[in-house]
Amino acid sequence: MTDFLSIHSKKIEIQWHNKEIKNRPCLIFLHEGLGCTAMWKEFPGLVSQKTNCPALVFSRLGYGKSDASTLPWKLNFMHKEALKLLPEIIKAAKIKNYILIGHSDGGSIGIIFSGSPHATGLKGLITLAAHVFCEQISVDSIFQAKINYENGNLKQGLEKYHEKNTENAFRGWNDAWLNPKFMHWNIEKYLKHIQVPMLSLQGKDDQYGTPKQLESIKTKVANIGTLLLDNCKHAPHSEQTKIALDLIARFISKVGKH
């Protein structure tokens, strides 16, 4: 069921799975750069059911059915999401203990948050195809997305999920990543401050990042499990659902006890 939280009089689209479950950490899902609540599809519900944890999925401002976000986005938009908006959502949703599960930009937001002083109550961090620095492969694929949006069928595909927010979501994300200054974007400094267990998955054929992303995470986080998945591009949870679900459930069963 779609619902809304109000943050500074802005509407944030949310969806709960098994909200009634008590004494288990809440799983908070952080979507990708073109994602939203609905684009996670059945995955949050599957993880919630398999782990017996409540789950909260939400659409960031400018995405899905949430209110719009002013364009253009600043190049530190992921820092803003991690250090300002996410703490407010956790507070407004009355969540005490939680595990973050972030895909792509959502994974990067999770890393920034987890390496910051806001991470009170955090039990674990799971990332799927997260970026910790900008690579040429990222820029090339994001430029290709721009071509597909303007001349192909990407815009039509996104309109099913974002409706009136489609232009807001695409331009905010795409223009920021394609700004020449974004090549200097780097969040590796947050990794060494992550105090909780972490699981990081990436596809071997990820068109938005090389395995150097996973290598950086692996070498800088104290308590980390990583896997580079065969036959997988940028979305481990939808391209290798069974493997991702099993690994995530195993991870949550360990960290959820503490």
Predicted TM-score (pTM) above 0.75: yes
Q: What is the mean pLDDT of residues 43-47?
A: 98
CATH topology of domain 2-255: Rossmann fold (3.40.50)
Domain regions of the chain by residue span:
2-255
For 205-229, write each residue's pLDDT tens digit. 999 999 999 999 999 999 999 999 9
For 98-110, write each residue's pLDDT tens digit. 999 999 999 999 9
Residues 167, 90 contacting (CB under 8 angstroms): no
In the chain, the percentage of residues whose pLDDT exceeds 90 is 98
Burial of 23 (0-12, 13-18, 19+ CB in 10 A): exposed
Q: How many residues does the chain have?
A: 258
Q: What is the pLDDT of residue 120?
A: 94
For 52-108, write each residue's pLDDT tens digit. 999 999 999 999 999 999 999 999 999 999 999 999 999 999 999 999 999 999 999
